[in-house]
Amino acid sequence: MGRVRLLSSYQRPSWDTYFIKMACLTASRATCPRRRVGAVLVRDQRVLATGYNGSVRGAPHCDDVGCLIAKQGERESCVRTVHAELNAILHCALNGVSSAGATLYCTDFPCLGCAKALVQAGIEKIIYLSEYPDVHSFSLLRESGIALFKAVEDGQGGYRLVSPPRSCT
């Protein structure tokens, strides 16, 4: 019996690439058009939970009825939407799964509210694709000892991790 020869151009994705792409796919389920964010909580290369920006259970989706916007401090926020990161943490809690020691892969850097929840949930590392201009969430996560890495495209269909600057402006 002969062996099947695989294409030599195939490259198995790294775990970081795999989970960042999973976060991007999860973001495609988001129901708030203002920001489509996906999050994946992982420990020991195993998915604990996923989350995306979406309405609370039983509420209409922003995609269907429009966003309900309210001012929160300096920013405007959608009232109906639970953020991706918080949804992932809540799915862990709902299913009795500890998020302590987990890594969060997320399409966007967490806002301040999500940053607080991530610290309290025991997240040890955050890997994100896009910046979110919030100096307070960046500082809080740094001060809490959570490792932060930005995923940047490596030019070969994958991602490599880089440390963000010491402060965010």
**Residues belonging to the active site:** 85
Distance, CA of 137 to CA of 131 (rounded, Å) = 11
Nearest CA-CA partner of 37 in 49, 23, 48? 23
Spatial separation of the C-alpha atoms in residues 169 and 167, rounded to whole Å: 7
Distance CA 88, CA 84 (A): 6
Closest C-alpha among 43, 38, 132, 136 to residue 87: 38
Neighbour tally for 154: CB within 10 Å: 12
Q: Is 11 exposed, middle or buried (CB count within 10 Å of its CB: 0-12, 13-18, 19+)? A: exposed
Report the C-alpha gap between 136 and 113 in whole angstroms: 10
